[in-house]
Amino acid sequence: MSTIVGDWKKFICRACGVIYDEEFGDPDSGIAPGTRFDDIPDDWECPLCGVTKEDFALYEPGSATAVAPGEAPAVVPQKTGVVVVGGGTAGWTAVEALRALDADVPITMVTACEGDRYRKPELSIALSQGKSPELLVSERGRDCARRLKVRLLSNTYAVGLSPALHQLRTTAGTLHYTRLVLAQGARPAMPDALPPNLCWRINDLAMWSGVQRALAPRPARIAIVGAGLVGCELAEDFARSGHSITVLDVNERPLAALLPEQASQRVLESWANQGIRFMAARSVVSVTLADESVGAERIVQTQHGEALHVDLVLCATGLGTQSYLARVGGLEFKRGIAVNPLTLQTSAPDVYALGDCISIGGEPCRFIEPIAGQAEAIAHSSLGRDHAGYHHQPPVLRVKTRSLPIVMRGAPSRELAWEIVEHDEHQLSMAQYRNGNLVASLDVGQRKARLAA
Ligand SMILES: Cc1cc2nc3c(=O)[nH]c(=O)nc-3n(C[C@H](O)[C@H](O)[C@H](O)COP(=O)(O)OP(=O)(O)OC[C@H]3O[C@@H](n4cnc5c(N)ncnc54)[C@H](O)[C@@H]3O)c2cc1C
């Protein structure tokens, strides 16, 4: 094993954004500090989402990290420059990419939250790991702003946009920009039958913290509405934390939009082993309080007249991008802010967008992996630097269910049939082919080699 000190490299998990830093290793998985990435055993898994070494890529954050903490004032007075809307992964990654290219360009970040940095994918596995909100934050927004010489307007909403005047209206006043980067993410889509005051959603740290507090006193009965990626991950995480889980979905099976039937069947078997109950083909028609007392039971009513009495209802029915800002700014919007697939420029001059809020060819792609490439393209394009542009690739898709890891690679098509490549009681491998060429692959469960290890 090589132990040369210094010149440590970092590697990023393309599935969830975790960074393996050679200097610090991964002691929780038995990888000592100072272990070179090449020396990590091949069966090592991403500590967050469980993908293997081959899903990690070299991570070079650029000169952004060279700005020492405390070197710059938190507030940099400025009239123009780049304004970034949103302090999530996309917003901060764009800031880092801009700073790496230009140490001096004035940058202002406008964000509705504190701007604290955390890995959102961790929210669906953090409860059973006993994490606290403080542990999930990797860097406070104000510290990151100081490090990257950014004027941070936290708890501030962007509420209006005039591309013609290069003006962004915010709840803290109107800002002028030379370039605008929109990274305001997407919001949970709440069906009408689920009143927001009675149903939790988990799409940011504040929401997760609320759920964590609500579940802290005792084991609870939880109804999760929606058996998509987030619903499935939360079901397992909450069940592992000792709660009693019922998942309801309008489809006949979990992950119906993503997986072939045989794979969903494996999910159901795994849920049965964990005591997670699935109610298929159910529409929730109402959620009401059993009485007026604080913390009263919720009654979830289905279209068949069933009534579930639970302590907490969690809505996991997907995300939608808010169109308001795009609409007032006259930006093209197709299930997300429409962007040029190479430059990430919107239909308005000098306005770019990335992350969960965009769509490419009318398709949103709400994953961590594409964000770094999008930020690079925006930084180069907006600063007038040469760049090959962004090339969209379907990200590796990982369902972070530890009892039944699921990994999908490639670009599956609804028109193509899934063929079984290999299967036994522990694992199912499937693939889609077009004209004999592999289009997508799917692995459900543990490979025998890993089980034995
Ligand atoms: C529970 C869960 C698990 C996930 N697991 C995975 C996974 O395993 N792998 C993976 O690749 N992806 C995963 N994802 C998706 C991934 O986390 C997102 O794609 C990514 O975090 C999106 O980053 P973003 O910055 O575009 O959006 P967000 O993180 O939503 O950030 C949006 C920012 O904009 C701000 N904002 C919103 N509106 C305004 C406004 N009007 N004015 C100013 N600011 C505003 C918000 O405060 C926030 O700071 C998961 C998501 C969730 C919810």
Segment among 65-79, 273-287, 327-341 with least mean pLDDT: 65-79
Residue 5 pLDDT: 58
Same domain, residue pair 328 and 308: no
- Segment 4-30 shows an average pLDDT of 78
Q: Specify the higher pLDDT residue, 453 or 96.
A: 96
Residue 67, in any domain of the structure: no
Domain count across the chain: 4
All residues at 6 or more sequence positions from 328 whose CB lies less than 8 Å from its CB, including other chains = 160, 161
Q: Among 23, 43, 17, 66, which residue's Cα sits nearest to residue 366?
A: 17
Q: Which of 291, 318, 345 is the last residue of a domain?
A: 318
Q: Among 90, 151, 79, which residue's Cα sits nearest to residue 339?
A: 90
The span from the CA of 23 to the CA of 8, in Å, is: 6
Same domain, residue pair 49 and 122: no
CB atoms inside a 10 Å sphere around CB 279:
18
The span from the CA of 317 to the CA of 206, in Å, is: 19
CB atoms inside a 10 Å sphere around CB 156:
21
Residue nearest to atom 29 of ligand 1 (CA): 88
The span from the CA of 361 to the CA of 339, in Å, is: 8
Please, which residues bridge with residue 108 across strands?
83, 151
Length of the chain as a residue count: 453
Same domain, residue pair 97 and 178: yes
Residue 426, in any domain of the structure: yes
The span from the CA of 298 to the CA of 309, in Å, is: 6
Residue 294 Cα, ligand 1 centroid: separation in angstroms? 31
Same domain, residue pair 252 and 302: yes
pLDDT band at residue 72 using 50, 70 and 90 as cut-offs: very low
Q: Is 417 exposed, middle or buried (0-12, 13-18, 19+ CB in 10 A)?
A: exposed
Mean confidence (pLDDT) of the chain: 90
Residue 69, in any domain of the structure: no
Same domain, residue pair 147 and 55: no
Residue 110, in any domain of the structure: yes
The residues lining ligand 1, judged by C-beta closer than 6 Å to any ligand atom, are 15-16, 49, 85-91, 110-113, 120-121, 123-124, 157-158, 183-185, 202-203, 230, 355-356, 366-369, 398, 400
Same domain, residue pair 361 and 314: no
Residue 215, in any domain of the structure: yes
Residue 75 pLDDT: 36
Please, which residues bridge with residue 333 across strands?
337
- Asked if 89 and 116 count as a contact pair (C-beta separation under 8 A), the reply is no
Q: At what angle do helices 369-382 and 89-101 cross, to 10 degrees?
A: 40
Segment among 220-229, 292-301, 345-354 with least mean pLDDT: 292-301
Using the predicted structure, report yes or no on whether residue 354 has a pLDDT greater than 70.
yes
CB atoms inside a 10 Å sphere around CB 1:
9
Q: What are 176-193's pLDDT values in tens digits? A: 999 999 999 999 998 999
Which ligand 1 atom is at minimum distance from the Cα of 322? 38
Which ligand 1 atom is at minimum distance from the Cα of 354? 26
Domain that holds residue 285: 205-318
Q: Which of 318, 339, 366 is the last residue of a domain?
A: 318
- 209: domain CATH number is 3.50.50.60
Residue 411 pLDDT: 92
All residues at 6 or more sequence positions from 124 whose CB lies less than 8 Å from its CB, including other chains = 202, 230, 233, 234, 237, 400
Residue 236, in any domain of the structure: yes
Residue 356 Cα, ligand 1 centroid: separation in angstroms? 6
Residue 248, in any domain of the structure: yes
Which ligand 1 atom is at minimum distance from the Cα of 93? 25
- Asked if 126 and 76 count as a contact pair (C-beta separation under 8 A), the reply is no
- Segment 257-274 shows an average pLDDT of 97
Residue 121 Cα, ligand 1 centroid: separation in angstroms? 9
Please, which residues bridge with residue 319 across strands?
188
Strands (DSSP E) contained in 386-426 are 397-399, 406-410, 419-423
Same domain, residue pair 221 and 143: no
Residue 404, in any domain of the structure: no
pLDDT band at residue 14 using 50, 70 and 90 as cut-offs: low
